[in-house]
């Protein structure tokens, strides 16, 4: 099959969050199954890689929009980048710390249109458009409106986060080249008097997917107003994300001070913990349980919950290291934690890949108190590094972390009821009971949990095969209008 990913980000070049990781690692996994994969994404100011200029063009619908296309090849995947002075020469991808860029409708809507234009110009052969979240959700609509040459191409839309839908004022319609007759609630783009990109994507794609089975169930019940449409979608699947096990491998990771495997993790993790504490200037004794959190700083990630337990957790003997960037409100909250607990808390407000690796390797516990979590990637990485996750029971966290208390025979972490402060604190205290470290050796129980975590298989293999099956379903649907 020939698959084209149209994505707003890919960690092969730049990323803001998990979507970027998936765009990169899933593309690699699909490629390794023998399919051809091409990725089209914007060229943001902060992409520093060497890219080859390809051609310059104006949008046929509006020749005030000029764009240039650049090319690159990575992991045997062809990348095309859309460079557009007015849209992508900015410091961030979607939003500054003050909030989303006000012209996101045009930035991403027209990027989706331009992607089709590039395919046409380069006569790219293709069977599947795999599009991701609201920024590229208009691709199937534009296909149907303006690109009869791609009428055979089936589209698969993956929802990574149903909270962000790309809702904009109706006045954008003409500049997006969407006819007013599509401004209707059924079979159109209208949503409570505005345009909703995700809604358009769900309506016009052949197959809808999301990134874990539990999140698929959750958004069929509630998806900020789109749950009805999602429930009606006949072909809707929840497929768990994987992680890139080449990049995330404690045995070969060059960003950590000591490599380790399941055979020698006690020594390996202790060395990494020592190093991590040194870097962050955390002077507390090595045996104190260290909690790490690497996260985008948004309300989804549950920092409000951390605020509620922090004082008690510190009294119970935990240390904390936070790393992340995002909304100003949460950046300030982290700085506040640092100020209030200078002995036990460290925080860095930045996106830093290397520090993230060190935190995954050097922490004892990894925290994800998310309010909702479509899949979550960090908990899987943490487990691969033998760092025991403490997570809220939602979405992909529910599907990947087995609670040790309810399943002592196979538990890999500790989970708690979402948005429940006491349940959260209880999960930490439970972890505390089993965690013990003396002379660089963990207690028997903790060793067992760590080993189970490290044994879990979070590679893409199985999920990529599921996507392969879904691509076939989508192609059949496109061709025959039905699958069975």
Among 45-53, 114-122, 255-263, 375-383, the segment contacting ligand GLC (CB under 6 A):
375-383
Among 17, 42, 201, 289, binds ligand GLC (CB under 6 A): 17
Within 8 A by CB and 6+ apart from 320, the residues are 290, 291, 292, 293, 310, 313, 314, 337, 341, 344, 345, 346
Q: Alpha-carbon distance 138 to 297, whole Å?
A: 27
Q: Which is nearer to ligand GLC, 211 or 334 (CB)?
A: 211
Dihedral sign from CA coordinates of 133, 138, 141, 143:
negative
Phi, psi of 2 (to 5 degrees): -110, 115
Chosen residue from 374, 386, 411, 413 binding ligand GLC by CB under 6 A? 374
Choose one: 14-22, 105-113, 271-279, 405-413; the region binding ligand GLC (CB under 6 A).
14-22
Ramachandran angles phi, psi of 115, nearest 5°? -60, -45
DSSP string across 68-121 = EEEEEEETTEEEEEEE-HHHH-SSSSSEETTEE-TTHHHHHHHHHHHHHHHHHH
Q: How far is the CB of 136 from ligand GLC (least distance, A)?
A: 14
Binding mask 383-422 for ligand GLC (x = CB under 6 A): -------------x--------------------------
Query: What's the CA gap between 447 and 265, in Å, rounded?
Result: 9
- Specify the residue, 23 or 282, whose C-beta has the smaller distance to ligand GLC: 23
In the region spanning residues 177 to 216, those forming contacts with ligand GLC, defined by CB under 6 A, are: 211
Binding to ligand GLC (CB under 6 A) within 235-264 occurs at 241
**CB neighbour burial string for 232-265, b if at least 16 within 10 angstroms, e if fewer:** ebeebbbbbbbbbbebbebeebeebbbbbeeeeb
Stretch that binds ligand GLC, among 58-66, 181-189, 346-354, 367-375 (CB under 6 A): 367-375
- Decide whether 241 or 272 has the Cβ nearer to ligand GLC: 241
Interface pick for ligand GLC out of 268, 292, 362, 376 (rule CB under 6 A):
376
If one asks whether residue 160 binds ligand GLC (CB under 6 A), the answer comes out as yes
Stretch that binds ligand GLC, among 107-115, 170-178, 368-376, 423-431 (CB under 6 A): 368-376
Nearer to ligand GLC, 299 or 420 (CB): 299
| Residue 192 C-beta: closest distance to ligand GLC, Å | 24
Please provide the size of the chain in residues: 484
Neighbours of 231 (CB within 10 A): 12
Nearest residue relative to ligand GLC (C-beta):
18
Among 291, 375, 427, 470, which residue sits at the site for ligand GLC (rule: CB under 6 A)?
375
Residue for token digits 């794609």?
Answer: 205
Specify the residue, 66 or 299, whose C-beta has the smaller distance to ligand GLC.
Answer: 299
Rounded distance, CA 223 to CA 229, Å? Answer: 9
């Amino acid at each position: 099959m020939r698959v084209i990913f149209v994505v707003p980000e890919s960690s092969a070049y730049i990323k803001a969050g998990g979507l970027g990781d998936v765009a990169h690692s899933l593309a690699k996994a699909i490629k390794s199954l023998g399919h051809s994969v091409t990725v089209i994404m914007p060229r943001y100011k902060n992409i520093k890689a060497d890219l080859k200029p390809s051609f310059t063009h104006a949008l046929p619908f509006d020749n005030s929009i000029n764009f240039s296309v650049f090319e690159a090849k990575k992991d045997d995947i062809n990348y095309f980048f859309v460079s557009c002075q007015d849209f992508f020469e900015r410091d961030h991808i979607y939003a500054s710390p003050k909030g989303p860029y006000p012209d996101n409708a045009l930035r991403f809507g027209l990027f989706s249109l331009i992607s089709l234009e590039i395919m046409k110009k380069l006569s790219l052969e293709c069977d599947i458009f795999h599009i991701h979240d609201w920024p590229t959700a208009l691709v199937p609509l534009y296909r149907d409106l303006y690109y009869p040459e791609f009428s055979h191409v089936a589209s698969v839309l993956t929802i990574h986060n149903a909270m962000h839908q790309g809702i904009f004022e109706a006045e954008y319609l003409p500049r997006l080249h969407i006819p007013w007759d599509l401004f209707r609630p059924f079979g159109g783009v209208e949503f409570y008097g505005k345009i909703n990109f995700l809604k358009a994507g769900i309506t016009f794609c052949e197959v809808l997917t999301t990134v874990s089975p539990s999140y698929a169930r959750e958004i069929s019940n509630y998806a900020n107003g789109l749950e009805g449409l999602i429930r009606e979608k006949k072909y809707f699947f929840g497929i768990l994300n994987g992680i890139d096990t080449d990049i995330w491998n404690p045995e070969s990771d060059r960003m950590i001070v000591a490599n380790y495997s399941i055979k020698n993790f006690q020594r390996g993790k202790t060395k990494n913990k020592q190093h991590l504490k040194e870097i962050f200037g955390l002077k507390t004794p090595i045996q104190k349980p260290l909690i790490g959190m690497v996260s985008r700083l948004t309300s989804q990630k549950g920092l409000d919950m951390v605020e509620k337990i922090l004082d008690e957790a510190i009294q119970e003997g935990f240390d904390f290291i936070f790393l992340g960037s995002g909304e100003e409100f949460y950046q300030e909250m982290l700085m506040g934690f640092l100020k209030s607990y200078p002995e036990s808390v460290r925080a860095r407000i930045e996106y830093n890949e290397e520090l993230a690796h060190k935190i995954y390797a050097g922490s004892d516990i990894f925290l994800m108190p998310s309010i909702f979590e479509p899949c979550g990637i960090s908990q899987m990485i943490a487990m691969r590094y033998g760092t025991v996750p403490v997570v809220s029971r939602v979405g992909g966290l529910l599907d990947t972390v087995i609670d040790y208390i309810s399943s002592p025979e196979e538990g890999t972490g500790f989970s708690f009821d979402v948005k429940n402060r006491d349940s959260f604190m209880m999960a930490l205290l439970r972890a505390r009971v089993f965690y013990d470290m003396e002379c660089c050796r963990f207690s028997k129980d903790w060793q067992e949990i760590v080993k189970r975590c490290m044994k879990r298989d979070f590679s893409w293999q199985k999920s990529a095969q599921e996507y392969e099956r879904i691509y076939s379903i989508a192609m059949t649907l496109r061709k025959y209008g039905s699958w069975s």
